[in-house]
Chains A and B, each alone.
Chain A
Amino acid sequence: MRYLIIVFSLLLLCGFNKEVFAQQKKVVIQGTVLDKADKVGIPGVNVQAGSPLTSVGVTNEKGEFSVSVAENSELFFKYIGYTTARRKADGKSKITVYLAEEQNALKETVIIGYQTKTKETSTGSSVVITAKMIQDVPVANLMELIQGKVPGLNVQNNNGSPGMRGSINLRGLSSINISESGGSAFLTPTSPLFVVDGVPIEDANNFDYGFQQGGPGISPLSLIPAEDVERIEILKDAQATSLYGSRGAYGVILVTTKRGNSKVPIIKYTSNYFMNAIPKLRDVIGGMDERRMRINQIMGNDTSYYHGIDMINRNPFLSDSLNAYYNNSTNWQSYFYRRTYNHSQNVDISGGDNTFNYKVNTGYYDEKGIVENTGLSRFSLNMNMQYQPSPKFRLFASIANALAKNSKGSGNSLLQGDAAKGGAQTSLLPAPSQYTAVNSVLSAMQTQNDNKTVKIAANVDLRYEFLKGLAASTNFSYTYNSGTEDNFIPAAINNNAGELYLYNDKQIALYSRSTLAYVLSLGEKHNFSANVFNELTTTTFKADAMLNRNTVNDYIHGPTMGYAYPFSPGGTLDNFSDRRSLAFAGAFSYNYMQKYVLDLTYRLDGTSTNGPDAGYSKNPSVGLRWNFNKEDFLSTISWLDFGSLRGSYGRNIVPTGTIYDVYGRYLSGARYNNNPTVNLDLRTVPNTALSPKTTTQLNFGFDFGVLQNKVNVTFDTYWKYVDNELKAKDLPNINSFEKISTNEISFMTRGYEIAVSFKPLPEKSKLNWTLMVNGDYRKEVLTRLPDGARQLMFKDVNTGQNILYRLGRNTLSNVLLNTNGIFSTNEDVPVDPMTGLRYRTGTGGDVTYFQAGDPRWTDLNGDYILDERDYVSVGNAQPAITGGINSSMIYKQFSLNFNLSFTMKRDILNNAVAERFQNFGRPNVPGSLVPLDRYKFWETSGDVAQYPNPYDFTRQRVIKPFRFDQTLFQEDGSYLKINDVTLGYTFDRQLTKRIGITGLRIYLTGRNLYTFTNYTGPNPESVDALGRDKSEGYPNSRSYTFGLNVQF
């Protein structure tokens, strides 16, 4: 894309100048272009001269150039990301030119609506992340590296499974739909639209409608090697995303891969060796200590001595201490978690100039998960080339291939249930060897899970300018994604019947865009540009699965024979889809001397899930910008580098639901008169007015830079309205149909974002230090519910942690009992003044009175009975504040970078700690016991404690003092995390030159080093999107990297 600018400016300049030059005397000028900071040669710098400026040469890989120009003409040295330098060709044959890195945020180029602009003339809100900001840290998924770098982008790396994706939300939640799976609630994951080199990629596709268990589960972003990424641009407001319309409502993230730009081919080799360490696992009480603890607990708290003795004697693992089977001290967690050694290799070969350039990037990434039997390896080969024989014609083509193999072990892409279950066994059982006392250990180790993901994306972009300023271009891309899963469960762990599960899916996406663009500049003051385009996408997806029960043996997974054949189902899964969308859009942009900027866009979107009565979605946007530093009266202020005010309004959509929600579905029914019948599917009634989800955003921004770019500030405030959220609504049972899907939920997010970059040290300082701080605050409000209701409750059957939707509140509130301390003495329990009965729970004959050591749950309705009417809605699982601190320091050959990210004002339901306490309620059940020393709990009458008495297991049965649904376990999930620290050393070029290397850099990186938090659970980041700390999640690993960059 960078060439677009050059070409563009060239075109403009060529077009406006019609003078004919006389032949002049030519001189040859040689020299070197060096980076002002690093003092190393910059390859690929465009050397221009003449009027109009024409390219006369390009520097080679050492930064050297040799050009032949007219005498006394001025040379321009242009390189993206650097300020342009000028030199007079004054007869000196050898010159040295220093290019300084461009620091002016306004001159940054942005790509908005498939067009490249400078920030100065863009009215939308966007953030650019360059390759430098994400280098040196090997991760499978790019998005992990963006955490804490973009204000407004809330990235929570809550899934440590290699290749999987955490949660990404741009400017607050995009969906508040909760789906239910196995009794647990999951927030419907959403993701911004990713556009990789102009090709839209759907990331959340496979888990759009709930919790998808089939398939490899790899995020498409994990198929792009970070080394190949040139820049990532995050478009935040509706104006910036307006032209990505039909799926841009959740925000748009543009990923641009590297391009060739050196006449001499450059070979870059990046190699990383990294170790993934296990995060701190929970302490457990082991062996004799555990048995004694359980026995003491039973004897000290049971209802009677003899009942206690009986309970112990009935459980041989407590009473039979001399039995070798029960006389162990096994650390079960050690069998699930491991330290792994991994590596990644990447070779990038690129070269070329404006006429023709190419790039080949090939990479291998291998990461073994810290949970046994999990891991990811990826092979990638990405190529692109651009051919521009004349300024009028340009052809760009790219092809990206990736193959990933991963194993999910016995879990799925989100959870590792067996590791959690097996890790929570009693230490008294024998350690696994050939025999294991705990089936989930074998299950986690021996399940053969083998997944393969293949992605091929091809893209062709043609552009022809047939009149001055008028250009037509077309872009066509084809993406093929295929995932297969082979999962074999050996007979020994599956009731003596081996089970083979085979899955394969295929997604094919076609994308085409044709544009007509016109640019006009009048007197270099009035600048107009306009374009119209249409866009067409089709996406088909189909998954097949087969389950073979009772395989012949563990080695031959072949066809099922005999009696098991009828029990081995297979076929196409019901999540197949064929979606299309068609859009027509136009954009108009005007600026007056780059001082006043106006952007208008309008877009019509039709998707296959728009109901016929809903028609096309109409999505307008308007943006304004005022670069006030260009006003005459401010031009005298020397300390102001730039300053501007922006405002935008616009609307975007994202299609939701399926075609069946719109048109209904026919099913083949039973035979009648020996003829097959076709019946209506009575589950969902068609809703022909179904509309896509829309977001409408208002954005105001303020940018300024002062003191020679020592301080750059970007501030944005926005109002984001999300409407037409899809929800299936139950119909009254007098109808034939059960449900209808409607678009009746709305909510809005209000937020502020600020990003500040400092250069605290003077220009002349040897230490070059850049510090960037960003943060955002947001507040969500639910504004509409179906049928005009003011509140709705989502019931979580497993944990009782219900979720409340209530108008005017944050979108998802927890509904919990309010724990207001612990009853210190029996006298503290309130008494009903009329009936004289103590505060109690239960009804009828099953009443339990509260006593000392029980939690003091607020009796909300004052009837002295704890029941479902005493729940309060509290807490917000969505963080109010997120942000990060990024620092980069360069001193001579050394560099030190660190990135921190923080999340504040977030409520987490600490189910992990609740479970620890709950385990003490079952002293006769062989689970693991975690020492409770660090918790302040009630022991004897008069104690003022934070937690109820964990040892009195008889109470745990009746009043459940450690139930999940109480505010005792709702904790503040604020944290500050050291994402990564990198120490690098660049070898002196003069030294490395001797061995034929133009650049050599080594570095050490630590990732996920430490998290500062008051949270008492394992990790405040490893919680799901609803803020629940489930212990089955995949923990995040800490990694240490040694890396090497070599450039030939």
Chain B
Amino acid sequence: MNHKYSLASLYMLFMGLAVMMTAACKKNLPDDRLPLGADAVFTTFTYSPVLGRNTLFTNNFNSGQGSGLPLSFKIINLRKRDGSAAPELTENFPVSVWRKPYMGDEKSLEEIEAKRAIENHPLFEIREHSGQFLMWANSSSSFIKSRPDSGYVFDVEVSNSGGRRYFRDFKLIPYRERAYEPSNLDPITGQAQSVAVHPSFTQGLSGERTSSFIGPGDIDVYFKKINTSGKSLSFKFVDSLYKPIDPNKFSKTKWESLVHGFNMVKTNESVKYDVPYPIPAIAFPTIYTNPGGTQARAVFRYERQGFGNQLIQAAIGFDFNIYEKGDWEVTFRFTRESPKFTND
């Protein structure tokens, strides 16, 4: 062996080899990345929200077993069916969002409004990590294509640190708005198919002339929006000839929990509340809603003495939604005959 080389150079050689091997060894190792598996799929490709309402599409994406969460979702290429751009859906609009939870125990309109705020959002969005689609209530058929138009097409990019995948040709075909439910409007054309809807249930009602049974089909309910600026809801009862019936005759009605409204004004012809819109405010069960919380439930009750001194507990119940702000008037009309309020 010769000793021409210094220790340093040999040492450098050795360490250099070590460093090179380190680099080489690292190169062949997989990166710590979230995998994106082939079993991560959208389960729904056609979305048909009703305009004018907040609509959230859930359970539309299955992340499968082979993917690392969270995934990131992005709507891309949102376009009309003819391929032209659709700025009406991608540009920001001021929308009303909840900042604090609506609990159903708020004591004033202001308290409810304080829980909401205005934010700017595109009217059609995808939640960044869950893949849920949102359609905000400010959407309107006046500027958004809705059925019977074939609507919009878009693609979704799903990505995480492990890569990205594209899901193509999602269809967004909205229904035109229906301001209230139950609705007498055709969902596709928006044309009225009947003049009225009917209450959800009745109980113990009998006609004042014939004492015959009055069912929900014997009562028409008319929704009427008096103006778009107000925030009130009034209930009226009329007989078959449109003559008013005194709401006080529904004497056992729990007026304070009829709707979540304030400043009740009850006259011989109507009962009126200041209310927040939409009704119900959120899909959350409260004393003002049906048990599922999906619709407001207004129940008008009275009691009378029937034959044989039996107590008859009579009620009209109506489950409904109103999505648009305004001074709304809901009229119950007894189409055959009015109910009997007096004792037998």
Interface membership of A748, Cβ < 8 A:
yes
Check A633 against B7 for contact (C-beta < 8 Å): yes
Bound: A499/B119 CA distance, A: 72
A861 touches B7 (CB 8 A): no
Residues of A within 8 A of B28 (CB): 783
Interface-facing stretch out of A305-313, A759-767, A802-810: A802-810
Across the interface, which residues of A come within 8 angstroms of B282, CB to CB? 835-837
A827 an interface residue at 8 Å Cβ cutoff?
yes
The verdict on A862 contacting B69 (CB below 8 Å), with A781-B29, A831-B99 known, is no
Q: Which residues of B are found within 8 Å of A631, using beta-carbon distances?
A: 3, 7
Known: A833-B99, A860-B70. Is A783-B30 also a contact (CB below 8 A)? yes
**Using an 8 Å CB-CB cutoff, how does the interface string of B15-45 with A read, 1 for contact, 0 for none?**
0011001000100111111110100000000
Q: How far is the CA of A511 from the CA of B25 in the complex (A)?
A: 37
Interface residue ranges of A842-869 to B (CB < 8 Å): 845, 849, 860-863, 869
Chain A residues in 8 Å Cβ range of B308: none
B7, B14, B37, B283: the one within 8 Å of A837 (CB): B283
Contacts of B37 in A (CB 8 A): 790-791
A645 to B8, CA, bound (A): 13
Name the interface residues of B124-150: CB closer than 8 Å to any CB of A: 127-132, 134, 136
In the complex the two chains form, what is the Cα distance from A61 to B210 in whole Å?
A: 129
Query: Which residues of B sit under 8 angstroms from A835, Cβ to Cβ?
Result: 54, 56, 98, 282-283
Given contacts A628-B7, A698-B25, A862-B127, contact A807 B30 (CB under 8 A): yes
Task: Note all chain B residues with C-beta closer than 8 A to A781.
Answer: 29-30, 32
16 residue pairs A–B, Cβ–Cβ below 8 Å: A592-B1, A628-B7, A790-B33, A791-B68, A807-B32, A808-B30, A808-B31, A829-B101, A831-B101, A833-B97, A833-B98, A835-B56, A836-B102, A836-B284, A860-B129, A863-B130
A861 to B71, CA, bound (A): 8
Give the chain B neighbours of A834 by CB distance below 8 A. Answer: 54, 56, 97-98, 134, 136
Tally inter-chain residue pairs, CB-CB below 8 A: 127
Task: Write out the residue numbers on chain A whose beta carbons fall within 8 Å of the beta carbon of B305.
Answer: none
Contact with A along B288-321 (1 / 0, CB 8 A): 0000100000000000000000000000000000
B281 to chain A: which residues have CB within 8 Å?
836
Complex CA gap A838/B54 in Å reads 16
Which positions in B face A, CB cutoff 8 Å?
1, 3, 6-7, 10-11, 14, 17-18, 21, 25, 28-35, 37, 54, 56, 58, 63, 65-71, 97-102, 115, 119, 127-132, 134, 136, 162, 281-284, 292
Are A837 and B284 in contact (CB-based, < 8 A)? yes
- In the complex, A717→B6 CA distance in Å? 24
| Minimum distance in angstroms from A450 CB to a CB of chain B | 48
Known A-B contacts A793-B65, A869-B63; the reply to A837 vs B101 at CB < 8 A is yes
Q: Identify which of residues 725-784 in chain A touch chain B, using a CB-to-CB cut-off of 8 Å.
A: 748, 750, 781-783
A358 at interface, CB cutoff 8 A: no
CA distance A698 to B115 in the complex (A): 64
Q: Which 9 A-B pairs have CB atoms at the shortest separation, nearest pair first?
A: A790-B35, A836-B282, A833-B97, A808-B32, A836-B98, A863-B130, A861-B130, A807-B30, A808-B30
Query: Quick one: CB contact mask for A813-838 with B, threshold 8 Å, 1 for yes?
Result: 00000000000000101011111111
Q: Which residue of A lies closest to B282 (CB)?
A: A836
Is A281 close to B, CB under 8 A?
no
7 more A-B residue pairs beyond the given contacts A834-B54, A834-B134, A860-B70, with a C-beta to C-beta distance below 8 A: A645-B11, A748-B25, A789-B35, A829-B101, A836-B115, A862-B128, A863-B130
Known contacts: A808-B32, A809-B32, A833-B98. The answer to whether A628 contacts B3 by CB under 8 A is no
Known: A791-B66, A863-B127. A698 touches B21 (CB 8 A): yes
Residues on B with C-beta less than 8 A from A480 are none
- Residues of chain B within 8 A (CB-CB) of A806 are 32, 34-35, 68
Establish whether residues A791 and B69, one from each chain, have CB atoms under 8 Å apart when the complex forms.
Answer: no
Q: Quick check: is A700 within 8 A (CB to CB) of the other chain?
A: yes
Judge whether A19 is part of the interface by a CB distance below 8 angstroms. Answer: no
A829 neighbours in B (Cβ, 8 Å) = 101
Smallest Cβ-Cβ distance to A793: which chain B residue: B65
Contacts of A574 in B (CB 8 A): none
Residues of the B chain whose Cβ atoms lie less than 8 Å from the Cβ of A647 = 14, 17-18
Evaluate whether A719 and B25 lie within 8 angstroms (CB atoms) in the complex, with A834-B134, A836-B102, A837-B282 already known: yes
For B10, give its contact among A628, A809, A871 (CB under 8 Å).
Answer: A628
A797 interface residue (CB < 8 Å to B): no
In the complex, what residues of B have CB within 8 A of residue A748's CB?
25, 29
- Distance in Å: Cβ of B19 to nearest Cβ of chain A: 10
With contacts A836-B281, A863-B132 taken as known, whether A827 is within 8 angstroms of B100 at the C-beta atoms is yes
Q: In the complex the two chains form, is B63's CB within 8 Å of A836's CB?
A: no
CA distance A750 to B10 in the complex (A): 25
User: CB-nearest residue of chain B relative to A858?
Assistant: B70
Using an 8 Å CB-CB cutoff, how does the interface string of A866-881 with B read, 1 for contact, 0 for none?
A: 0001111100000000
Contact A861-B58, Cβ < 8 Å, known A807-B30, A831-B101, A833-B98: no
Residues on the B chain within 8 Å of A958, using CB: none
Contact of A596 with B70 at beta-carbon distance under 8 Å, contacts A698-B25, A833-B97, A834-B134 already known:
no
Write out the residue numbers on chain A whose beta carbons fall within 8 Å of the beta carbon of B3. 631-633
| In the bound complex, CA of A832 to CA of B102 (Å) | 11
Distance A645 CA – B18 CA, assembled complex (angstroms) = 11
Query: Chain B residues with Cβ under 8 A from A809's Cβ?
Result: 32
Shortest distance from the beta carbon of B143 to any chain A beta carbon, whole Å: 21
How near does chain A come to B46, taking the closest CB pair, in angstroms?
Answer: 21
Name the CB-closest residue of B to A698. B21
Which residues of B sit under 8 angstroms from A833, Cβ to Cβ?
97-99, 119
Residues 128-168 of chain A, each 1 if its beta carbon lies under 8 Å from chain B, else 0? 00000000000000000000000000000000000000000
If A596-B1, A863-B130 touch, whether A789 touches B54 (CB-CB below 8 Å) is: no
Residues on the A chain within 8 Å of B31, using CB: 808
Which residues of chain A are within 8 angstroms of B25 by Cβ–Cβ distance? 698, 719, 748, 750
Residues of chain A lying within 8 A (CB to CB) of residue B128:
862
The residue from A645, A698, A832, A863 contacting B14, defined by CB atoms under 8 A apart: A645
**How distant is the Cα of A871 from the Cα of B63 in the complex, in angstroms?**
13
Of all chain A residues, the one with the shortest Cβ separation from B283 is: A835
Are B69 and A860 closer than 8 Å at their CB atoms? yes
Interface flag for A437 (CB, 8 Å): no
Per the bound structure, the CA–CA distance linking A369 and B58 in Å amounts to: 57
- Cross-chain contact of A783 among B29, B115, B119, B136 (Cβ < 8 A): B29
Q: For the complex, is A634 an interface residue (Cβ under 8 Å from B)?
A: yes
A871 to B11, CA, bound (A): 49
Q: Once bound together, how far apart are the Cα atoms of A713 and B269, in whole Å?
A: 100
- Taking the nearest CB of chain B, how far is it from the CB of A217, in angstroms? 36
Chain B: CB-nearest residue to A645:
B14
CA of A748 to CA of B58 in the docked complex: distance in angstroms? 41
> Are A861 and B284 touching (Cβ within 8 A)?
no
Q: Give chain A residues whose Cβ lies under 8 Å from the Cβ of B63.
A: 869
- Considering the complex, give the chain B residue whose CB is closest to the CB of A596: B1
Residues of B within 8 A of A793 (CB): 65
Closest to A628 in B: B7
> A827 to B128, alpha carbons, bound, how many Å?
24
Residue in chain B with minimal CB distance to A632: B3
Nearest CB of chain B from residue A483's CB, rounded to whole Å: 41
Nearest residue, chain B, Cβ from A839: B101
Is B101 a contact of A838 with CB atoms below 8 Å? yes
> What are the residues of chain A within 8 A of B134 when measuring CB–CB?
834
Chain A residues within 8 Å of B131, by CB: 861
Check A861 against B70 for contact (C-beta < 8 Å).
yes
Interface string of A663-700 (1 = CB under 8 A from B): 00000000000000000000000000000000000101
The docked-state distance in angstroms from the alpha carbon of A837 to that of B66 is: 31
A748 CA / B119 CA spacing, docked (Å) = 50
